[in-house]
Amino acid sequence: MTRGKASFGSVRRLPSGRWQARYTAPDLVRHTAPLTFDTRGDAETWLAMRRSEVARGVWLPPRTAAEVLTFGAYAETWLADRDLKPRTRELYRSLLDRRILPTFADVTLTAITPAAVRRWYVYQPTATPTARAHAYGLLKGICATAVADEHLAANPCRIRAAGTSKRVHKVRPATLPELEALAAAMPERQRLMVLFAAWCGLRFGEVTELRRKDIDLTNGALRIRRAVVRVDG
């Protein structure tokens, strides 16, 4: 069992190979981190956060295990409290279930460190950069609310540009002859859908919800008032 003395508290390597962090707080009680860590650096980072809390006078005695708020529980409340469009809610639900909760569901909010977020981000599939960026953005947004709610002292999501993505495949717009051929190949009642989508930049949901009253021939205007969305279930 390897032991090490940090500038604040101490860390030790357990027989399992993971690292444990402990420190003596202002209440003169020796506290142990609620979780073990992959590396010594992660354990020392956790100790540094506790030391910062002590120095700033915001340190509080750790709560009992039953009172500790996990990320999974907080995320469920966060999602339930949001006024979201059905498609957005479905997206967030999918990102949580498939990408975020498998790692952080049972982790307490205060145990989510910048190092833990970086490790999680590194292992997100790079073949789907948009979903990867959206997942990071969602995690960062939930943690930002936790900071506002005073559950966290600072947001652990600090990876620059992680919430943006580059297009994997370059999209080549259709040429005018190709567009004409595409419209001509459609059933007559659906040809305008192709032209509206191409020339007005409308999404499929916006095109399919157009009504005659949305087209103002006098003023040459097209009004987008509605859009249809598809959600699972």
- Per-residue pLDDT, averaged over 173-193, amounts to 88
d(CA 198, CA 201): 6
- The predicted model scores a pTM of 0.56
Is pLDDT larger for residue 66 or for residue 7?
Answer: 7
What is the reported pLDDT for 65?
Answer: 41
- Please say if the pLDDT value at position 64 is more than 50: no
- Per-residue pLDDT, averaged over 15-21, amounts to 83
Structure confidence by residue, pLDDT tens digits, 38-52: 899 999 999 999 999
Structure confidence by residue, pLDDT tens digits, 104-157: 999 998 899 999 999 999 999 988 899 999 999 999 999 998 888 778 889 999
- Per-residue pLDDT, averaged over 179-184, amounts to 89
Structure confidence by residue, pLDDT tens digits, 190-223: 888 888 888 888 888 888 888 888 888 888 888 8
Structure confidence by residue, pLDDT tens digits, 67-100: 478 999 999 989 988 888 888 999 999 999 999 9
Query: Where exactly are the structural domains of the chain?
Result: 9-56, 71-149, 176-222
